[in-house]
Structure 1
Amino acid sequence: MTKLLLADDHDLVREMIAAYLRAQGGFEVHVAESLGAALDVQEKNGPFQLVLLDLMMPGMDSLTGLGVMKARAKCPVAILSGTATAEIGRRALRSGAAGFLPKTLDPQSLVAAVHHMLLGETYTPLDFLETGESEAEGPVRLTPRETDVLVGILHGKSNKEIARDLDIQEVTVKLHLKTLSRKLGAKNRTHAAMIARDMGLT
């Protein structure tokens, strides 16, 4: 079973998110209420496949705690926040976070985001992408998995067929489709396929 470590100093939020991940995703979830406690849990119960850290809990010292946990856990580490600005989110991603997850994500989206990061991808919420889109420079950069999904779309495959081909969940395909469409400025699947053809993805 995939093991996750979730650290948040708000008891209710922590237990609610952990319950989502256990019930909806089938994950084994260990919890902690601070960075120090999370490091102890990592030492005693690791290794973990993914760590989720609340940005504002004790011990984090802004994004310093992200680097500390990454060095200790040697697995993807994502940031959770209910209040951080888009700029803080961008800083977290530049600092090597596996993702930036608003606490307002619904359970299905949260589980999809976790699957996304377990595949080695970076999770960025769509509204966050919108905020940062105008600041992007240079060519569009798709992740390898987004490119795989785009090729499947180009070949006229359904989300279910793409999921089967790539051995991932259909909800994960939908997440990739949304993020790649945002990056490409595609209005729908057909538009995305046209852009893929223009990019020479056959």
Structure 2
Amino acid sequence: MLGTHILLVDDHTLFRTGMQMILTQVGGARGVSEASSVREAFDFDESSVDLILLDIHLPGLNGIDGIKPMREKFAGVPIIILSASSELASIRQAKELGAAGFLNKAALAEEIVNSITHVLGGGQCFPAGVDSQPAPAMHTGGHTLTPRQTEVLIYLCEGKPNKLIARELDMSENTVRVHVSAILSALGAKNRSEAILIAQREGITN
């Protein structure tokens, strides 16, 4: 999640402060914007947000009911629901409405960061027992890439710039940059050109 900009929507100031420290100091997020309600969240520019952490209990429109309008406002930006409980009904409802994950507020910092990183990579993070499990990583040519990273790599091999990839995959340019960085790391490549050569040589995108 290094270099990403996260929008944190929660009405508890103390929790937002603690979460911001985790996201920036442990996760390396580039920035964290804060809102205390869905209405306040709508004041932010969708093009600058890479991921949304949305509390399930909010004044006015709650987190579950806020998923649909937030997805419409922030098209292509993954949403992870935050909750102090892990009720299976709420988790399933969040998944059905299009959330990319569901995190318990009591989760350890490392678990939070790992879950967010997985979602930014195109996966999902839901507790065990939910029908939909995280998207499996793809093992190609000895390298491990998420399905979303493989999609980005395909476009890289076609010579498309980040801006065009973002448009094709309905995500922000910064999210594309995060994916590219993860791809370079997974392939052991120093730059985009080397990553393309490795992908073509090993038939990863075929």
Structure-1-length-normalised TM-score = 0.63
Aligned counterpart for 2:34 among listed residues 31, 47, 51? 31
SS at match of 1:68: helix
1:170 match:
none
Structure scoring higher RCO (CA < 8 A, sep ≥ 6) equals: 2
The structure with the largest helix share of the pair is 1
Cα deviations by residue, 1:177-196 (Å, 9 ceiling, x for unpaired):
xxxxxxxxxxxxxxxxxxxx
Query: Is the 8 Å Cα contact of residues 60 and 66 (structure 1) preserved in structure 2?
Result: no
Distance in 1 (alpha carbons) for counterparts of 2:134 and 2:86: 25
Residues 108 and 119 (structure 1 numbering): CA distance in 2 closer, same or farther, change over 3 Å? same
Q: Percent identity?
A: 31
What are structure 2's unaligned runs of at least 5 residues?
Answer: 145-183, 189-206
Cα deviations by residue, 1:95-133 (Å, 9 ceiling, x for unpaired):
1101001101101110101101101111113xxx13x4x
| Residue identity in the other structure for 2:135 | T
Cα deviations by residue, 1:7-30 (Å, 9 ceiling, x for unpaired):
100111111111100100110111
Residues 148 and 141 (structure 1 numbering): CA distance in 2 closer, same or farther, change over 3 Å? farther
Query: Is the 8 Å Cα contact of residues 125 and 134 (structure 2) preserved in structure 1?
Result: no
| Residue identity in the other structure for 2:43 | D
> How do 1:53-202 and structure 2 match up within 5 A?
53-61=54-62, 63-74=64-75, 75-125=77-127, 129-130=128-129, 132=130, 136=131, 143-145=135-137, 147-148=138-139, 165=186
Q: Which runs of 4+ in 1 moved over 4 A?
A: none
Residues 148 and 109 (structure 1 numbering): CA distance in 2 closer, same or farther, change over 3 Å? same
Distance in 1 (alpha carbons) for counterparts of 2:68 and 2:37: 15
What are structure 1's unaligned runs of at least 5 residues?
Answer: 154-162, 168-202
